[in-house]
């Protein structure tokens, strides 16, 4: 079943921002992107082997770096779960998970 256009656009924008952030900031030599369209959820995973993100930046709430905050807000707006795992000197992994029921066009 096709995704709702608005959901599709937000997933694209979150993924693009995650890749651009990794390219600009991580000093990674490898960036992996996985997209899964599963029976119950859509999952986007962006992983790099770069320098990581300082914990205080990840924990700072509203002071979060604009790109991270934007991705988090986009995810919230479409009802998705948004998680980031990282630490300085280590890889970063971003995961977006969205129930398929809220993402697909309903049959009319």
DSSP string, 16-30: HHHHHHHHHHS--S-
pLDDT level of residue 107 (50, 70, 90 thresholds): low
Domain boundaries, the chain: 5-102
The per-residue pLDDT of the chain, averaged, comes to: 89
- Count the Cβ atoms, other than its own, within 10 Å of residue 22: 23
DSSP 3: B
pTM above 0.85, yes or no: yes
Q: Is the pLDDT of residue 62 over 60?
A: no
pLDDT level of residue 37 (50, 70, 90 thresholds): very high
- The fraction of the chain above a pLDDT of 90, given in percent, is 67
* Average pLDDT for 18-30: 92
Record: fold of 5-102: Heat Shock Protein 90 (3.30.565)
- pLDDT score recorded for residue 94: 96
């Amino acid at each position: 079943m096709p995704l709702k256009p608005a959901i599709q656009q937000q997933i694209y924008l979150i993924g693009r921002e995650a890749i651009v952030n990794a390219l600009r900031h991580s000093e990674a030599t490898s960036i992996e992107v996985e997209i899964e369209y599963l029976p119950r959820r859509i999952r986007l995973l962006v992983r790099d082997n770069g320098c990581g993100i300082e914990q205080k930046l990840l924990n700072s709430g509203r002071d979060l770096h604009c790109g991270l905050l934007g991705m988090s807000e986009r995810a919230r707006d479409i009802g998705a779960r948004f998680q980031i795992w990282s630490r300085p000197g280590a890889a970063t992994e971003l995961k977006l998970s969205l129930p398929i029921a809220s993402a697909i066009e309903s049959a009319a």
